[in-house]
Structure formats: C-alpha cells, structure tokens
Structure 1
Amino acid sequence: MARKLAEDKKIPEKRPLTRIQKAKRQTILEAALDVFSAEGFRGATLDRIAAEAGLSKPNLLYYYPSKEAVFQELLSGLLETWLDPLAAMDPSGEPLEEIMAYVRRKLEMARDYPRESRLFANEILRGAPNIQGILETDLKSLVDEKSGCIRDWIAAGKIAEVDAVHLIFSIWSLTQHYSDFDVQVRAVLGHDDPYPGAAAHLEVLFKRLLTPA
C-alpha cells in the first residue's frame, strides 16, 4: 500500500512539445530577437515581445515564465552558432586559406545574422551577466585552441608573425562592425550594400598582414 501511495504521488514526466507548441515558441523567439536586438535587454518588455509575436501576454507566459527565460534561450542558441565558424578552422588545412575562410564566414554571419550580432553585443556591453561563465570556459578554450594552431603555423613559417589572440580579436571587430554599426556604415556609403566592398577589403588586408615576407 505504501509503495502504491508513493507511486501515485510521483510527478508525471514532462511531455514533449507538440508541433504547434514548437512553432509558437519559435514565433516568440523570433519576435524577441527583433525586440532585444533593437531595444536591448533593459528596454525590452514582455508586452512588446507578445505584441510582436501576435500573442497575448498570458499566452506568451504559458511558454516562457519571464523575460529572462526568453533571453536566456535566445543566447543559448546563439552561442553555438557564434562559435561554429572558429571551430571550423582546420589545423591540417592550408593556413592562410583557413584564416581567410574564417574571415569570410564571420563577415557572412554579420550580413546574414545582424539581429543576433547586436543581441550578443548588447549582452557583452551589459557585462555578460548571462554568459560570463561560457565566455570564461567554452569561448576561452576554443580561442586557446585555435590561437595555438595559429602559433604553430607561425613557427613553421607558413604565415607572418602576429599575435594570434589579437588576430582573432581583429577578425571579430572588423567583421561584426558591419552589423553592429549598420546604420552608420550605410549612411557613409550612401546606403549601398557594404558587404561586397568589405569582403574585398578584408581579403587584401588580412592577406597582406599574414603572407610571409
């Protein structure tokens, strides 16, 4: 009898989301990405996110209990996407081409994921309260690994001598600038598409920097 009572009190397992529930969550995340990237974390509200998603606030709260929960899920998905281009750098590949491929991937991400880039930038400017641990573990480990690979290429005389970590920082800043400062860039260029010119410029810049004398 005691065992039967204990079994009756067991909390039922959480059921997997239905197709409709998954679609609703994705709609909320898309709307939240628009709001967070435009307004920052502090400026965003659940009311604004719900309106952007075409839902009532109670409906949104059925899927996410707070603004922080929505933001955290967005960041979790973003970080994996953000680390993938650097992770793809192949130590056994041709060094200059591997680095240039990384530059191209980062510029393509700036072009294709401007909202995500601004979301990430806003989080960093806030002191990274939600991802500090990941920056100090996953990101640092990946940068340590790939900068070690770059140092090996330098030692072998395959690319010019540079500070490997600051090279990665430079790639980040020179590519993400085009999404984080998109309005400024397009204003200066007369609202032309900046990416073809940016790709050509960065190709010349990094090849000149990294080609051994």
Structure 2
Amino acid sequence: MTIQVPRPRTRIQKRNTEAILDAALEVFSATGFRGATLDRIAEVAGLSKPNLLYYFASKEAIHTALLTHLLDTWLDPLRALDPEGDPVDEILGYVRRKLEMARAYPRESRLFANEIVQGAPHMLPEIEGPLRRLVDEKAAMIRAWIDAGRLAPLDPHHLIFSIWATTQHYADFDVQVRAILAPDGDGHFAGAEAFLTELFRRALDPR
C-alpha cells in the first residue's frame, strides 16, 4: 500500500494562510460569526474569494481553525499554575498573565466572547471537554491549598471565573474602558495590574 505524504506548504501558501486567518480574526471579532462574510474576509486579506476558498472551504472552516488555536492559547496561562509553587504567587501570576493576554490579544478575546454570547455553537464540545477538565483539575489544586490553610476559603471555580471576568474585561470592553479613562496608549494596563493584584491578594490571604 502506498502512503500519501502531504507536501509541505510553500512560503506563499503559508503567507496566504496567515493573511486569511488574521483577516478573519479582524472581521469575526468585530462583527461576530453571523455578521462576517467570506467576501469581507477576502477583501481584508487582500485576496480574491476564489483564492481564499483554495485554502479554506467555508466560513465555518476558518472560524473553527481560529477558535481551535485560540482555545489552546487561552488555556496556557491556566496550565502554568504550579502545585509546588506558593499559592498566592501562583494565582497572582495567573491574573497577570491573563491581563497581559487581554492587552496583547484583544481581538482573540472578543472572538471568544462573541462565540460564547452566541451559545458556543462551534466549540461547545471543547468547552465541555478539555476546558472543563482543566478548570476542574486546577480548581481541585486550589481546593487542596485552601484545605491546607494556605489560601482563604474561596470557591475555586468562582475564583477562576472572577479572574477571567476582571482581566478579559479590558479586551472585550476596550472601547468603554478607553472612553472613560482616555488612556495614553496601553498605559491603563499598569493601573489595572496594580489594582487586580491588590484585590486578589487581599481576597486570597488566609489570615
């Protein structure tokens, strides 16, 4: 039996694929899945629609590719929680990593938020599967720290949800934050980090 080995993509194919995904991220994060069109994605990517369809068969295929990569990236900071580390330092480090992701990847955060608001039609299995398992694993670790008297008695799942809410707010509601604060560039993230670090430090202190 002959095994077909896929040929590596050319430099131009890699460049076009990246251009399509970046354009799709821009369009999906701004308009949501329903508002996005292949014509608009192709226009932003600087490609013709037939050329785009050479790389991705449908709008759904592009959306799925983006979300699959995004979920894996989004979970990395949570995976990094170290059971051998100091509990307060580990969780505050997680807060800072999530806030940095909100600063560096606002479009990705809004893409994920749009998917959730729509009922997660394209990634509910991933949320109910890998995401839930990871959150349960880290919640159990936090619970062990609490039981050992190393953290204040907080519900671990709601603690994680609170971290998501307070950090991703700066990406998902970026327009509102900037309209109120009128910051110079991303200068407001330093203030957000200082505030959230103190907020969670006080909440986590077992004393």
TM superposition score category, shorter chain reference:
over 0.9
Match of 2:21 in 1: 29
The equivalent residue for 1:158 is 150
Report SS of the residue matched to 2:114: helix
- CA-CA distance at 1:12 after TM superposition: 5.4
1:1-213 map, 5 Å: 13-192=5-184, 193-213=187-207
Q: Which amino acid aligns with 1:134?
A: E
The answer to whether the 8 Å contact 1:46/1:57 transfers is yes
Q: Which runs of 5+ in 1 are unaligned?
A: 1-6
Instruction: Report the CA distance between 1:191 and its aligned residue.
Output: 3.5
Partners of 1:191 and 1:103 lie apart in 2 by 21
In 2, the alpha carbon distance for the partners of 1:142 and 1:207 equals 23
Deviations 1:137-177 (A, max 9, x none): 10010011000000010011111110000000000000000
Paired residues of 1:185 and 1:194 also in contact (CA < 8 A): no
Partner of 1:3: none
Q: How many residues align?
A: 205
1:194 shift after superposition: 2.0
TM-score (norm 2): 0.96
Give distance in 2, aligned partners of 1:126 and 1:210.
Answer: 33
In terms of Rg, which structure is larger? 1
Q: Which amino acid aligns with 1:95?
A: P
In structure 1, give the amino acid aligned to 2:39. D
Question: Alignment RMSD, CA only?
Answer: 1.4
Q: What are the Cα deviations for residues 186-210 of structure 1, in whole angstroms up to 9, with x where unaligned? A: 1111234320110000011000000
Residue 91 of structure 1: SS of its match in structure 2? coil
- Structure 2 Cα separation of the partners of residues 128 and 14 of structure 1: 32
Give the superposition deviation at 1:11: 9.5
In 2, Cα distance between the equivalents of 1:84 and 1:75? 14
Q: Segments of 4+ in structure 1 off by > 6 A? A: none
User: How much does 1:13 deviate?
Assistant: 4.9
